[in-house]
Amino acid sequence: MAFPKPQATLRSATGIPTGRLAVWWLLASEVVIFGGVLGSYLMHRLGHPEWAEAASHTNTWIGAFNTFVLLTSSFTAVLAHQAAEKGDGKKAAGFLVLTIGGALTFLMVKSYEWTVEILEGFTITANGFWSFYYTAAGLHALHVIAGAIIMGIVAADAYRGRELQRVELIGIYWHFVDVVWIFLFPLLYIAK
């Protein structure tokens, strides 16, 4: 039951395929959402030197491991794109499944980390730092979950050789999620 695409979708007056153009705009709107959270956090953090004490309780090693996981999943996502460009849907789907595995690893590590912290008493209401910590990382984790779900749908299509251009689109989104984490990592874990 394929949905008949309108002519409009197939046109490309800018030279950028429609799907990719839309993903770029989506990312522009995501940049301002994360910019709002991280900008607010940055201003408060610089204005509140006492938050350094709270920040020293975050676990840099777990953060670094999660950075490693996301960088690796980005790598598999780009390999999926490479395979899709060559028209190899099965291989692309395989790499996408690896990427989903990365997402799940990330989320499991995250939930372990949060459980430990909450049991130690560092809840979202404990202090301003922890409020921002859970809000920013939680917003990011929501994007990881959404990305993993969409990637599952794209992988199922790609396995049957359909809609291969979407492998690149979900990849671009996934790299963006990675880039957000690249900034969250120093902001929440390293700067103490």
| Subset of residues 120 to 139 that bind other proteins, contact rule: CB under 8 A | 121-122, 124-132, 135, 139
CB contact at 8 A, 174 and 147: yes
The correct pick among 58, 74, 140, 158 for binding other proteins (CB under 8 A) is 74
Count residues contacting other proteins (CB under 8 A)?
Answer: 94
Q: Is 116 in the site for other proteins (CB under 8 A)?
A: no
- The first and second tokens of residue 152, run together, are 């599952």
> What part of residues 26-45 is at the interface with other proteins (CB under 8 A)?
26-37, 39-40, 42-44
- Going by C-alpha positions, the residue among 68, 71, 67, 77 that lies closest to residue 100 is 77
> Phi/psi of residue 47, each to 5°?
-85, -10
Return d(Cα 192, Cα 77) in angstroms, integer. 32
Tally of CB atoms within 10 A around 61: 8
Q: What's the closest the beta carbon of residue 73 comes to other proteins, in angstroms?
A: 11
Binding flags for other proteins, 147-166, as an x/- string (CB under 8 A): -----------------xx-
Q: Is 175 in the site for other proteins (CB under 8 A)?
A: yes
